[in-house]
Structure 1
Amino acid sequence: MDKSTWATNHTGQLDFILMGLFSQSKHPAFLCVVIFVIFLMALSGNSILILLIYSDAHLHTPMYYFISQLSLMDMIYICVTVPKMLMDQVMGKNKISAPECGMQMFFYVTLGGSEYFLLAAMAYDRYVAICHPLHYSTLMSHKMWLFLVSGCWFLESVDGFMLTLITMTFPFCRSREIHHFFCEVPAVMKLSCSDTSLYETLMYLCCVLMLLIPMTVISSSYSFILLTIHRMNSAEGRKKALTTCSSHMTVVILFYGAAIYTYMLPISYHSPEKDMAVSAFYTILTPVLNPLIYSLRNKDVIRALKKMLNLEYFREPRNKTFLY
């Protein structure tokens, strides 16, 4: 390889080629329409949920504040990958420049990691509300809300910046074809012509740590919650507690299941097709499922929606549905 080629590869001026989901489909036009509909559903569902939470005073609690942040992350999350993918399919292009690839990678890592920690913060919030209801207002003050959410964004923005910077400085002198529909770190690293084994090991350990810390918080919180629910004398109290926690646990299982496959399983379990399918699930489908999970089974959200739509004849008697 001559000096000009080496310099070009190191400065990252060449475009990458995203093979994408459509290259694997027998009906790309139909798949494009389906993904576009899902994208619109995700934007509308999360936007409505955020609007309801910020417009209804009864939803101005830590739990709903965390849910609104989760919806905001999901909206940005899906906007990072899907519009580019759909536009490329419509325009007949599949290239992405190195700066665009880096930006996509940074936002993806930052938002994905932030959701890990936000789900842990939500689990802690449920733990305090159910296990220590008398001290809830003190332990989950407004300053604590802001501290937890700010910490989620800050920690993962630093992690995203470091991973993106290191990944994009490796020389890419192999094929520029990324067998993925966006610039995910593992998929991009496969194109490097240098030895990345040490970096991949460190990245693996970092990702495991980033998953284990929130998973430990979540599992500990729900262990204490289940123990407290078991000790409750009131059947109605147990039902309310389980209803409050079940939505969050559903999201945790969906999100962490996909993350464990992507970042914790050995490389022998991976293939480009499987990786794209799993990434499509938690990048495209999860942002649609989250607002449905948190709204359809939540009486307070449904009541706020009816109030916003001025459906007075559907109004139900006011009662508290949460333990705090």
Structure 2
Amino acid sequence: MPLYYFSPDSYLSLSSSHRSSSVNGTREPDGVTFFILQGLSSLGEKQMIFFVILLLGYIVILGGNSMIIFVTLTDPKLNSPMYFFLANLSFVDIAFTTTTIPKMLSGFLSYVSSISVPHCFVQMFFFVQLSVTSRGILTVMAYDRYVAICKPLHYTSIMTRPVRLLLVIGSWVFSTVIWLPVTISALFRPYCGPNVVKHGWCDPTSVRQLVCADTSVDNIVSLFFGVVCLLTTGVLILTSYILIGISVSKMNVAQMLKAFGTCAAHLTVVTISYTSASFVYISYRVGNFPTEVRIIVAVLYAALTPFLNPVIYSLRNKELQESIRRTVNCSEI
């Protein structure tokens, strides 16, 4: 299917059913009913390269994370809390990427990529909410590793099934409570034109630029809640690993290596997740970043960790490797 370069302003002039009048892509203040997602349309036919890469990455994300969920639910040997949390993280990763990647892929193949206002804010909410939820679960997994290494004799009595469920539910509640007020506030702001979102999806910062009012308070509130999310989870993860480090320093070499092996996969995922988030933050704060570069950085952030999670855990965890191998062998019989 051919890809077309389009001008959002020219599209607005064709959309008489959705506008009152348009001058240079702006609209009269009768309210915007839909947004146009600019994406990487300025790259023209070169978009196909990104389309193929993103499609293959999304297939790997769905396949790898689905495999982890399947084996952890069906293999009795993987009934420990660590695999319970890993399955929940894989589910969140699938949901997180599904909020944005399919819409962006369809945008590559469309003359124009539009999205209704309600759908836009639903996408915005779940994108951020699931991002925070994944960090909440990473925090819970850090606590699980702390208990396993620092309090091994009490591990089973502490990490009971009700406690595991409570920790996961807490991650979802925390992310919802943190971001829902910001999304509702953004929804009721006036959007009278233009309606071109300079992003691949309804990114909060990009949508906020279209508000027909002063957004200084919105920027401060959004930044505050974002910092709270990152700092709360980041500090808790860091605290867990500091306590783990103190405990490991008192062990012999064999115990140290075993403890390191237990934490290596999780620590790798945490490092990648927070590093990619930092790059996205920098791209928004540096004014001379081209829109296309900022979108590509955001896509890498959205897809990189969900893409690498199953790979990292599969490579670093022998039990998971064996379970996947048994599952594949059974399917071949």
Same fold (TM over 0.5): yes
Count residues with an aligned counterpart.
305
Distance 1:29 1:274, change over 3 A: closer
Distance 1:134 1:269, change over 3 A: farther
**Aligned 8 A contact 1:62 1:125 in 2:** yes
* Pairwise CA distance, 1:21: 3.1
Residue 239 (structure 1) aligned with residue 257 (structure 2): yes
* Pairwise CA distance, 1:236: 2.4
Q: Per-residue CA shift, 1:146-199, capped at 9, x if unaligned?
A: 001001111212333222211121112342111110101111111112111012
What amino acid is aligned across from residue 119 of structure 1 in structure 2?
L
**Aligned 8 A contact 1:208 1:263 in 2:** no
Distance 1:269 1:71 in 2: 34
Match of 1:291 in 2: 310
Match of 2:322 in 1: 303
Match of 2:57 in 1: 38
Distance 1:35 1:292, change over 3 A: same
Distance 1:90 1:278 in 2: 21
**Aligned 8 A contact 1:25 1:31 in 2:** no
Distance 1:218 1:128 in 2: 13
Write out aligned runs for 1:103-252 (5 A).
103-233=122-252, 235-252=253-270
Match of 1:259 in 2: 277
Distance 1:22 1:286 in 2: 25
TM value normalised by structure 2: 0.86
Of the three residues 7, 11, 23, the one matched with 2:42 is: 23
Classify the secondary structure of the residue corresponding to 2:329: coil
What amino acid is aligned across from residue 162 of structure 1 in structure 2?
P
Classify the secondary structure of the residue corresponding to 1:309: helix
Distance 1:198 1:215, change over 3 A: same
Distance 1:269 1:127 in 2: 41
What amino acid is aligned across from residue 168 of structure 2 in structure 1?
V
Match of 1:318 in 2: none
* Pairwise CA distance, 1:274: 4.3
What amino acid is aligned across from residue 40 of structure 2 in structure 1?
L
For the aligned residues, what is the CA RMSD? Answer: 2.2
TM value normalised by structure 1: 0.88
Match of 2:104 in 1: 85
Distance 1:131 1:167 in 2: 44
* Pairwise CA distance, 1:291: 0.6
What amino acid is aligned across from residue 53 of structure 2 in structure 1?
V
Distance 2:194 2:130 in 1: 28
**Aligned 8 A contact 2:136 2:233 in 1:** yes
Match of 2:296 in 1: 277
With 69-78 and 15-24 compared, the bigger mean Cα shift is at 15-24
Distance 1:219 1:24 in 2: 41
Classify the secondary structure of the residue corresponding to 1:182: coil
What amino acid is aligned across from residue 46 of structure 1 in structure 2?
N
Distance 1:281 1:270, change over 3 A: farther
Distance 1:227 1:68 in 2: 29
Q: Per-residue CA shift, 1:182-219, capped at 9, x if unaligned?
A: 10111111111211101211221111111111111111
Of the three residues 90, 101, 105, the one matched with 1:71 is: 90
Q: Per-residue CA shift, 1:220-262, capped at 9, x if unaligned?
A: 11011112222112x2221121111111111111111232344
**Aligned 8 A contact 1:78 1:287 in 2:** yes
Match of 1:314 in 2: none
Match of 1:321 in 2: none
**Aligned 8 A contact 1:114 1:152 in 2:** yes
